Amino acid sequence: MKLLHDLLQEQSLFEGLAPTDLEFLAGCGRLQRFDDGEPVFREGDVADRCYVVRSGSVVVGLHVPARGWVGLATVEPGELLGWSWLFPPGRWRLDATAQTSCSLFAFDARCLVQKLDEQPHLGYLLMTRLARVSSEHLLDARHQLLDFYGAPEDGGRPLGVGTTSP
């Protein structure tokens, strides 16, 4: 049976980290399983965990008035799920639901922040990876908005996005 730090080593998010760093992180983590359709977290709940998908997939979304629940992104194996734990007030800003039966690495946020404070080099490495992931998610959201609202025919910005009406 593999230990948690061995399983972390298999994840692209942790690629290149020293074995001692992986052991350090594993001290805050555990594996957690979710069944198809089971909530991982809900908007407004306390964000006390950080997740990385090991297997299966999780859909992230929110409730939109007059539209109902809207899925925004699917998080696949090796990807980070949620970063609301990093920022006050420490509450989830979206919902996450297991799209399929899945296994997630669940890290205790308080433990993780404390350990990253103790090891600034590791904190820097993980924060740069987190920044890359959040940048990719913002770009995905932008593309979804273009699909939702439609790109303007003249190729410029849609009205209401940094422009004024003619």
In a domain, 74, yes or no: yes
Which range marks the domain in which residue 81 is found?
4-149
Beta bridge partners of 70: 62
Percent of the chain with pLDDT over 90: 42
In a domain, 59, yes or no: yes
With a cut of 70, say whether residue 151 has pLDDT above it.
no
In a domain, 119, yes or no: yes
Average pLDDT over residues 29-39: 97
Q: What CATH number does the domain containing 67 carry?
A: 2.60.120.10
pLDDT of residue 126: 86
Number of domains making up the chain: 1
In a domain, 18, yes or no: yes
In a domain, 161, yes or no: no
Written as one string, the DSSP assignment of 84-146 is GGGSTT-B-SSEEEESSSEEEEEEEHHHHHHHHHH-HHHHHHHHHHHHHHHHHHHHHHHHHHH
- For residue 162, name the pLDDT band (cuts at 50, 70, 90): very low
Determine the angle formed by the axes of helices 120-149 and 109-118, rounding to 10 degrees: 130
Mean pLDDT, the chain, integer = 85
Average pLDDT over residues 133-154: 70
By mean pLDDT, which of 26-40, 56-70, 93-107, 126-140 is the weakest?
126-140
In a domain, 12, yes or no: yes
pLDDT of residue 54: 96
With tokens 């009205």, the residue in question is 159
By mean pLDDT, which of 57-71, 85-99, 110-124, 134-148 is the weakest?
134-148
In a domain, 120, yes or no: yes
Average pLDDT over residues 25-46: 96
In a domain, 107, yes or no: yes
